[in-house]
Amino acid sequence: MILNIRIDHKTADINKIEESTRNMDEIFANIQHDHQVQEYVQVKTCNRAEIYMVLDEAPYIISGED
């Protein structure tokens, strides 16, 4: 399974991107702990942050949206 976690300038301002990037690092660490991450790449620029992962199975993720 391929999983992408991202935030960019279209969905948030720069302050929210910076804050969310720290949260993404924590989420990524949790996924690595709970699942076999076969491959991954992180992309961080001034207007976006993304993590692409290849996992052995689909993780159970709570989106944070109500």
- Contact present, 31 and 18 (Cβ < 8 Å): no
pLDDT at 50 over 90: yes
pLDDT at 34 over 50: yes
Catalytic center residues: 46
Q: For residue 50, which of 59, 41, 58 has the smallest C-alpha distance? A: 41
- Encode 3-24: b = buried (16+ Cβ within 10 Å), e = exposed: bebebeeeebeeeebeebbeeb
pLDDT at 43 over 60: yes
- Contact present, 5 and 24 (Cβ < 8 Å): yes
pLDDT band for position 22 (cuts 50, 70, 90):
confident
pLDDT at 7: 92
